[in-house]
A and B are shown apart, each in its own frame.
Chain A
Amino acid sequence: MSLINKKIKKDKNLAMVIVGDRCVGCDACYVACKTDWDVPALKGAYRTKVFEVEGEDIHKNPTISFLPTLCNHCDSAPCVDVCPTGASFKRDEDGIVLVEPEMCIGCKACMVACPYDARYYNEELEAVDKCTFCLPRISNGLDPACVTTCVGESRNFGDLNDKDSNVAKLLRDATSIAKLKEDEGTSPNVYYVTVNY
């Protein structure tokens, strides 16, 4: 996907593990994230969004499920590759993908490149903005805002390299593990799991 394959070396392997069927679609995460990060008042301005997916099962009965989405902090991040200024970058130490607003010229190439629509243009910053895995919070010992508030306790966050972390345990116990659009070659770090107790 990228012209030059940047080797990823991460000290920490940060990941969000979402227990899919615990999500009740309450959208508390959406609001918590918007208020903590001063995301502007605009429908398309958000760092995380929960999709309500309506469908049908094989008996033609209606089904719905909820799909929380956010930046996947891809290990092979097309948004980083296309950025002409280096404003979009991936941190070596933990793999978090960030946008440095001072360097962003707003060409929106990264928005186009992201397969997950994870980015938006933040006019108040005059730069593109996106989920930071709550780096400001986690580097000060807090959980991400969306995880903290998650009513269904669907969202979990931590370091997969730490075998005792909640996320590592969840992946071990999971009966199914999926990531979004894996065929895009992006190597996402947000996992969707089901767990049977």
Chain B
Amino acid sequence: MNTSTAQKKQTNTIWLVLSCLVAAVGLYGMLQVFNNGQEASYGISREVPWGILIIGYSFFVALSVGTAIIGSLAHVFKVEAFHVMSKKVAMFSLAALIAAFYTIFWELAGPFHLQALRLVIYFTQFEISSPIWWMVTFYMLELPLLALEVYFLVSKKANSAFFAALVGFFLGIIAYGTLAFVFASNATRPLWHTSSFSIFFILSAIASGCAIVLIILFLTGNKEKIKSIKAFNKMLFILLFSMLFIDVWNVFINTYGVNSELSATMKLFIGKGVLANNFYYYELLGGIVIPMILLVIGGFKSSFLSAIAGLLVVIGLFFARFDSVVGGQLLSRPSTHMNFTQHIYRVSTSELLLFISAIGVLGIVYFLGSKFFNLEEEIH
């Protein structure tokens, strides 16, 4: 063990402690739920039943699937020099998935009442018409697969790892596709019920995977990283460009569309709409445009700028999920003869802290994994 590895190990421990601290903020939310119940602690309502915890779930799953897909891509298409960090990326993917499960756990009914046992029902009921049933089934498969992949990588079983990555690639795409379908299948939510919705969902997930890889690359400071940085930079740029196109086009077309419900929804995102600020500044500008500019400025090879771009993309992804999940629910009316009522969704402190704590959970799993599997020792 050389000194730099020792140093890295120390940093790892610091990160781990930090993660624990971040995770600890969730205790407040849990305490609130325990004492006052979810209803009193969360900002969700009858009309907007899916709030930041579902958003958080779809966000972490995006990170998990995005990184899994990127990892598999690198594996499968033998992207050079990726192997330097394949373990870390796999570990991250696993950690993000666990964070996702953690987030949704708090969203489900009665988390303090052995809720997990009700989940058994999934595998006994075969509700094949339910997108959620499929989604959970796929993720239940994805989880052990990711764990296996990490295991194979750590124990240097290259072939098995390759195979796991390959299956993970398809499963990831399918699983995330079903998550997108969980939203898109709702005919009554015109914002989600469009063809571009699922595509945007998947593209943005892959982009976030790219972004995470760029961040990890920057943090691990490896000599061989330059080559991979270029590849991932370009990939991210292309993804961002397509996202930009879809996003803007979507709003543009649908605002002027014939579907009055959809165009009413679109007005939430533009002008003085309640989500306009989110959409303009966080989702488009901060999450897509500025990262693209940063990538270009860095000539597709600056590890620092691409890491910053990556960070912005991840934050942008969160807002993109926020906007679409909330935006899909804000307007409703019982009858087509009535005007829409615009509901309000305000994130409560408990919800927010539980979401933030999930970032800590991600960190804990990731850095514990790093420690346990000695991921800092990238010896080849």
Contact = CB atoms under 8 A, between A and B. Distances in A.
Contacts of B108: 105-107
A109 B134 CA distance: 13
A185 B187 contact: yes
B334 A117 contact: yes
Shortest 5 CB-CB distances between A and B: which pairs?
A: A106-B109, A126-B110, A44-B46, A115-B188, A84-B133
A121 B37 CA distance: 12
A104 B337 CA distance: 33
A184 B188 contact: yes
Interface stretch (B13-21, B82-90, B118-126, B313-321): B118-126
Interface string B88-120: 000000000000000000011110010100110
A167 interface: no
A108 B125 contact: no
Interface in A82-121: 82-87, 103-109, 111-117, 119-121
B3 interface: no
A181 B333 CA distance: 10
> Looking at A51, A67, A82, A87, which has the most chain B CB atoms within 10 Å of its CB?
A82
A184 B130 contact: no
Given A6-B129, A82-B131, A113-B188, A44 B47 contact: yes
Contacts of B122: 84-85
B187 A126 contact: no
A109 B182 contact: yes
Nearest to B110: A126
A58 interface: no
Interface string B220-263: 00000000000000000000000000000000000000000000
Contacts, number: 124
Interface residues of B, number: 41
A51 B189 CA distance: 21
Contacts of B45: 44
Interface of B: 37-39, 44-47, 49-50, 107-110, 113, 115, 118-119, 121-122, 125, 127-133, 136, 182, 185-189, 329, 332, 334-338
B139 to A, nearest CB: 12
Contacts of B332: 117
Contacts of B335: 67, 69, 180-181
Nearest to A46: B46
A184 B109 CA distance: 28
Interface in A25-64: 40, 42, 44-45, 51, 53
A78 interface: yes
A86 B127 CA distance: 6
A115 B328 CA distance: 12
A69 B335 CA distance: 9
B49 A121 contact: yes
B334 A85 contact: no
Nearest to B188: A115
Contact of B187 (A104, A117, A184): A184
A11 interface: no
A21 B334 CA distance: 17
A134 to B, nearest CB: 20
Contacts of B46: 44-45, 111, 117, 119-121
